[in-house]
Amino acid sequence: MNIAESTINGIKVLSLEGVLNAASSPKFKAYLETADHSGPMIINLEQVEFIDSSGLGLLVRLARQKKSANEALKLAKMNDRVKRVFEITQAHSLFDIYDDIQAAAGN
């Protein structure tokens, strides 16, 4: 899994690419822990091919952290496969989900 970082409108955007599962989520977890990732964040899921329950767990934890810090976490550009996982697990009710990164960044 690849993680690319960029900034739109002063908001950090993490673009994930590849598979987010039990094998790759430690990498993402380590990435989140190594640097300072405070402040509002957008996660671009457009290039995520697949997400499983442990990948989902990571996002849920991140959402919880952001919420307790009173910072926004938005998910953007979910493809249909990822959307379906969010839906059957009912995880969608924990996130703000946008179909457009610019809109998520409030542009």
Partner 1 sequence: MNTGSVQTLIVLREEEHAWLQDLFRSRHPMLVTLCNKPFIEYLIDFAILSGSEALRIASDSPITDLENYCGNGSRWGITIDYAHILPEDDQERLLEKNRQFCSRGKTMLIEKTLFVAYDKKNDYRLWLRACPEGVAVSGTSGSITILGNKQENAIPGPIPGPSLPMLLTIGEYYRLADDTLKNADRYILPGYSSEPDCFLGRNVVIQKGAEIRKPVMIGNNVQISAGSIIGPGAIIGSNIIIDRESVVSGSILMDNTFIGEQLEVKGRIADGSLLIDPESGATLQMEDPHLMSVIQPGASTKQIIRRLIHALAALALLIVLALPFLVLRPLLGLRRNWHTKKRLFPPGATAKKLTIEQVVIRPEGADGRLAIALSIDRYPSLFKVLGGKLRLIGHRPAVSSDTTTISSGCIAMNPAVFGYAETEEWPENERDELMVDHYHLLHSGSLNDIGLLLKALLNKKHM
Instruction: Tell me which residues touch partner 1 (CB under 8 A).
Output: 52-54, 56-58, 60-61, 64, 80, 83-93, 95-100, 102-104
Instruction: Output the smallest distance, CB 91 to partner 1, in A.
Output: 5
CB 99 within 8 A of CB 76: yes
CB 40 within 8 A of CB 14: no
Closer CB to partner 1, residue 5 or residue 99?
A: 99
- Quote the distance between the C-alpha of residue 57 and its chain's center: 11
Closer CB to partner 1, residue 48 or residue 85?
A: 85
Instruction: Output the smallest distance, CB 44 to partner 1, in A.
Output: 13
Instruction: Output the smallest distance, CB 24 to partner 1, in A.
Output: 15
* Residue with token string 């960029």: 6
**Alpha-carbon gap, residue 46 to 5, rounded angstroms:** 14
Instruction: Output the smallest distance, CB 78 to partner 1, in A.
Output: 8
Closer CB to partner 1, residue 26 or residue 39?
A: 26
* Residue 86: how many other CB atoms lie within 10 Å: 20
**Alpha-carbon gap, residue 82 to 39, rounded angstroms:** 25
Closer CB to partner 1, residue 12 or residue 21?
A: 21
